[in-house]
Structures are given as C-alpha cells and as structure tokens.
Amino acid sequence: MRLLIFTEHKDTLDYLVGKLRDWKLSVTQIHGGMKIGDRDTSNTRIYSEREFREDCQVLVATEAAGEGINLQFCWFMINYDIPWNPVRLEQRMGRIHRYGQDKDCLIFNFVSTNTREGRVLWKLFERIRAIEVDLDPERTGKVFNVLGDIFPANQLERMIRDMYAHNLTEDVIKNRIVEQVDTERFRRISDSALEGLAKRELNLAPIVGKAAEAKERRLVPEVIEDFFIQAAPIAGIHPKENAKGQKVYRIGRVPRTLWQIGDRLESRFGKLGHEYKKITFDKNILTNEPTLEWVTPGHPLFECVRDDVLARVQEDLRRGAVFYDLYRHQPARLDVFSAGISDGRGNKLHERLYVVQTELDGRMTVRQPTLFLDLVLAWGSAELVATLPDDTALPNRDQVEQALIEQELNRFLVEIRTQRQKEVETISQHMELVSTRLLIRCSVSLLS
C-alpha cells in the first residue's frame, strides 16, 4: 500500500518528511521548487513520481503535484491541511481518483476543529452530509457534482479572509452556509443538470459503431508482447520473464543506441526512461501489480524499439517474406501500403494500413492488415524461394496502387472529408453563437 500526503506549505512538507523518515518509512516528495524533469533526473517531479511508483511507501506533496501527475496506482490519500478553494482540493483528489483506478479511494481531510476556520469548515461538511443522506443515500457522487454551482470555488476563501479582516464574523459565515447549502436548492440544480444533459442532441450510433470497430482492430496484448519479445533483442534489449507464465518482464538499462531515438520521438510519445525495472503488456495484470510499467503501442519504450528495428530491417522488408496460410490452396501475393490524409496545413489527420491481395489470375482484393495474424512465417531456405510461382505477369505496383485507390481510398477520403466538414460546421456554429452572446453582453454594458 502507498500513501499520498498533501500539504499547503513547504515548511510543513519538510516537517512531515523528517517525521516519516524518523519512523523508518521510505519517503519521496514533490514541491514547487522542483522542475518537471524526467524519470532519470533526480530531484525532479517525474523522478519522484517514479520513485513513489517503484520504491517508496509515502509521497508528501504540495500543490505542485495537484496537476499533471498521475498516481492512480495509489488509493490512500491524506490532506494534512485543506485549501479553501474547493477546486484545488478536487485537483488533489484527481491525482488518484482518475481513469485507471480500480480500487475505492480512501481520503482523509485533517481539520483542526478548535479553530475558527475549522468550525466553519465543519459546518459545511455537516450540511453536505445531511443533504447527501436525503438526496443520495447510495453515495453516487451526485451531490458533489453540483456543489460548485451552489458554493462557488472562491467564495469560502473570500469569506474566511473577510473574517480575519474583521469584516465578517464566524456566526455570519455559518448562517450563510446554512442558507446557501440547503436540500431543496441541491435538488433543483441536480435535476436541472440531468434535464439539460438529457436534452442535448447526441448521436450515439456513430460513437458506438466506431468503438466496436476500434475494438475489433485493436491488437490483443499477446500480439504486442510477441512482437516486443522478438524485436527487442534486435534493438539490444533482452527482456527476462519473472516467472513462467506471469507475463511480467525485467528490462534493466536501456541501451544508449536508443537514447537518441527517444529524444527524437519525445514530442510524440513522451520521455524514454534510461531504465525500466518490470514491465507488462497486459493492462489486466496492473490490477494486482499497479507499480508495473504498462508497455503498449504509444509507450516511449515500445515506439523506440519499433523505430530502431524498422530502420534495421528495411532491406528485409523490401525483399519481402513468405507466409503459410492453412486455409488456402493456391498462392497469392500481398502488397502492404500505408495511406494517410493531411489537411491544408500539412497536418496528418488519419493514417491506415492496407493490404492488397493479388491472386494468380490477376484479381485484386483489399484486405485488412490483421490478415497477417492468421498467417505463419515460412522459415525456409533458398529451395523454398525457388519453388515460388513467377509473379512477373501479375499487375505491377502502379496497377496495384490504382486498384487500392478505386476500391478503398476514394471511399476513405469521402468518409474523412464528410467527418471534417461536420466538425467545421459545428465549430463555426459554436463560434457564431459565442460571438453573438459576447456582442449582446458588450451592448448591454455600454447601455448601462
């Protein structure tokens, strides 16, 4: 189990770190004086995040860790002191209560109830608890979803400042909390939010269709693992499985030959680490071992290995390969193409792989690249190559490309163009609406 402690001030952080280390706990820290850095540069935020993930029991942090740090492998958090702005408190909780968190998060807020601000905060908590019992007994979070609409983020902080400036008394603030945070007001705003959501025009059919299509095309973890385990040694990495069948691998130091590739790809895939202790390719394994590094397409280690291996095997790719298909009786030729669509500024919008299958009689069919998942590589010799049929009479490259354009790419272009036009129309309508509202607001201000 790992513990995340948030505090407002650097002095408090230093005190807590010292105390925890006196108790023989392994501790790391993140504060505003640290640079973002990377996983290999000590005394930086990303390095401390890695330390917390792999080695340390406790992370003590100030608001510097409130944004941009993902700690969903931790589910236990203590707010040693609480910011008066609820948005900042929400940002803290969002570090662990986020996508990828598969456990119930346990969060403690420390409040000194023998102080004026403590009593004010306690009154607010009491009101929220009472309303939650009435409106949301199952604690689905409905009450907290609309809390910001009832109690603006900076209002409490403003009132506390006024209390210390002797402009407001503690009793006045408590009365305002009772007036503003009431059950009926919560119910009205909650129902209004749900009604507004229900009335929005959402076309879910394309979303569901695209999700199903993406799931169908997605590579399963076993395929990704098989590629990486076979490709990594070519790039100088030798994964070693922890135990047979666990699907957890030890990597160790990343070869220097990949560092330069990592620097080149950093803007697209993030910083390549110089060392990876244990990795997995299956996201489900993270449930029991959340400190593992999940390596998948898009991860800097995976992409650097792929880039390096691609550069090394260019000649082999041009020469081609022979595969067995257990369901075919006649041989065929497969040509692989990468097709992309760019906008007017040269930004690539979409890119897809296509395979054109040419039969011995010259018929051409466009296939999905997942076709290769059903084929078996033929580890043959020169004798095997000599038995292959002569393909000089088959359509040449230009003819194959033309068939791909006619059968698939024209439809692909129309699909993307239609989608792009809808996006432009939606943005244009939104901009027109916003501009009109701003003009009306300015006109009203001038008149008043």
Range in 30-34, 84-88, 174-178, 195-199 with the lowest mean pLDDT: 195-199
- Average pLDDT for residues 14-32, to the nearest whole number? 93
Q: Residue 234: pLDDT band by 50, 70, 90 thresholds?
A: very high
Query: Rounded to an integer, what distance in angstroms lies between the CA atom of residue 105 and that of residue 96?
Result: 7
pLDDT value at position 216? 55
pLDDT value at position 201? 47
Compute the Cα dihedral for 207, 208, 213, 218 and give only its sign.
positive
The mean pLDDT of the chain is: 81
Q: Residue 182: pLDDT band by 50, 70, 90 thresholds?
A: low
Residue 134 has pLDDT above 90, yes or no: no
What residue spans define the domains of the chain? 3-199, 220-315, 321-431
DSSP state of 287: G
Query: Rounded to an integer, what distance in angstroms lies between the CA atom of residue 439 and that of residue 432?
Result: 11
Nearest to 257 by CA among 312, 213, 216: 312
Residue 226 has pLDDT above 80, yes or no: yes
Query: Rounded to an integer, what distance in angstroms lies between the CA atom of residue 107 and that of residue 6?
Result: 11
Q: Residue 87: pLDDT band by 50, 70, 90 thresholds?
A: low
Residue 382 has pLDDT above 80, yes or no: no
The structure tokens listed for 219 are 């590579």
| Residue 190 and residue 136 in contact, taking contact as beta carbons nearer than 8 Å | no
- Average pLDDT for residues 165-189, to the nearest whole number? 71
324 SS3 class: strand
Q: Residue 195: pLDDT band by 50, 70, 90 thresholds?
A: very low
- Average pLDDT for residues 35-45, to the nearest whole number? 82
pLDDT value at position 197? 46
Q: Which amino acid type is present at position 85?
A: N
pLDDT digits (tens, 9 = 90+) for 200-217: 444 555 655 666 565 556
Q: Which residue has the tokens 């897809």?
A: 352
248 SS3 class: strand
Architecture of domain 3-199: 3-Layer(aba) Sandwich (3.40)
Q: Residue 359: pLDDT band by 50, 70, 90 thresholds?
A: very high
